[in-house]
Amino acid sequence: MTHSKKNGISRRAFIYLSGLLAAGLGSNPKSLAQDLSNKSSKVSEWNKLLAEINQFPLLEAIFSRRSRRFGWGMEIPKGPMQYKSKLPPTPLDEFERAVIIASGLGVSGWHHGIPYSAAQDGLCDYSLRYTGRTFPGAAGIGNVDLFYTDDTGTYFVSTKDADGKESWAEETLTNAEHLIKEVEEKTTQISNERVSPPRAAPHYSAHNLWNGNTEGSTLFIPAANVSEQLLAFLFIVVGSGYTVFDDNNQQNAGSLDKFIKDGLIDQKRKYPLSYLEQYVLSTSAVEMGMLGHNMALSLQPLGLGGWFYSGINPFSVMGLSASKGIPGLGFDFERKEGWGVPNPVGIEGLYECYGPPFHADMRAATESLLEKKYGTGGTYDSKIPGPFRDSNMKGQASRPNDAIVDCVVEVAQYIYDTYGKFPGTVPSIFVRYYVQAHRLDIDFYDKHFKSASYLDTHKSNATRWMKKILNRS
- In this prediction the pTM is 0.93
d(C-alpha 91, C-alpha 89), whole Å? 7
User: Percent of the chain at pLDDT above 90?
Assistant: 85
Higher pLDDT, residue 8 or 165 = 165
Q: Is the pLDDT of residue 128 over 80?
A: yes
Higher pLDDT, residue 291 or 395 = 291
Give residue 22's pLDDT.
67
Whole-number average pLDDT of the chain? 92
Helices 402-419 and 362-374 pack at an angle, to 10 degrees, of 140
Least confident of 1-5, 385-389, 396-400: 1-5
Strand partners, 334: 343
Q: Is the pLDDT of residue 380 over 50?
A: yes
Give residue 336's pLDDT.
93
Higher pLDDT, residue 201 or 1 = 201
Burial of 68 (0-12, 13-18, 19+ CB in 10 A): buried
Higher pLDDT, residue 365 or 167 = 365
Q: Which of 220, 91, 90 is nearest to 154 (CA)?
A: 220
d(C-alpha 242, C-alpha 404), whole Å? 11
The arithmetic mean of pLDDT across residues 374-391, rounded, is: 93
Residue-wise pLDDT tens digits, 454-467:
999 999 999 999 99
Phi, psi (deg, nearest 5) at residue 188: -120, 125
User: Is residue 236 within 8 Å of residue 332, measured between CB atoms?
Assistant: no
Q: Is the pLDDT of residue 394 over 80?
A: yes
Give residue 166's pLDDT.
82
User: Is residue 144 within 8 Å of residue 222, measured between CB atoms?
Assistant: yes
Q: Is the pLDDT of residue 127 over 80?
A: yes
User: Is residue 431 within 8 Å of residue 314, measured between CB atoms?
Assistant: yes
The arithmetic mean of pLDDT across residues 376-396, rounded, is: 93
Q: Is the pLDDT of residue 307 over 90?
A: yes
Give residue 11's pLDDT.
67
54 CB-near residues (< 8 Å, 6+ apart): 173, 174
Residue-wise pLDDT tens digits, 186-233:
999 999 999 999 999 999 999 999 999 999 999 999 999 999 999 999
Q: Which of 114, 164, 137, 67 is nearest to 291 (CA)?
A: 137
The arithmetic mean of pLDDT across residues 6-14, rounded, is: 60
Residue-wise pLDDT tens digits, 66-119:
999 999 999 999 999 999 999 999 999 999 999 999 999 999 999 999 999 999
The arithmetic mean of pLDDT across residues 332-343, rounded, is: 94
Strand partners, 270: 243
Give residue 25's pLDDT.
58
Q: Is the pLDDT of residue 291 over 90?
A: yes
Give residue 39's pLDDT.
43
Give residue 2's pLDDT.
43
Residue-wise pLDDT tens digits, 14-73:
666 677 776 665 444 444 444 554 444 579 999 999 999 999 999 999 999 999 999 999
What 3-state class would DSSP assign to 358? coil
User: Is residue 128 within 8 Å of residue 372, measured between CB atoms?
Assistant: yes
Cα dist from 195 to 147, 327, 342, 404, whole Å = 11, 7, 20, 43
Question: What is the CB neighbour count within 10 angstroms for residue 52?
Answer: 16
d(C-alpha 155, C-alpha 162), whole Å? 17
Q: Is the pLDDT of residue 385 over 60?
A: yes
Helices 43-54 and 176-185 pack at an angle, to 10 degrees, of 90
Q: Is the pLDDT of residue 342 over 80?
A: yes
The arithmetic mean of pLDDT across residues 363-381, rounded, is: 97
Q: Is the pLDDT of residue 134 over 70?
A: yes
The arithmetic mean of pLDDT across residues 397-415, rounded, is: 97
Question: What is the CB neighbour count within 10 angstroms for residue 339?
Answer: 12
Q: Which of 297, 352, 276, 349 is nearest to 58 (CA)?
A: 297
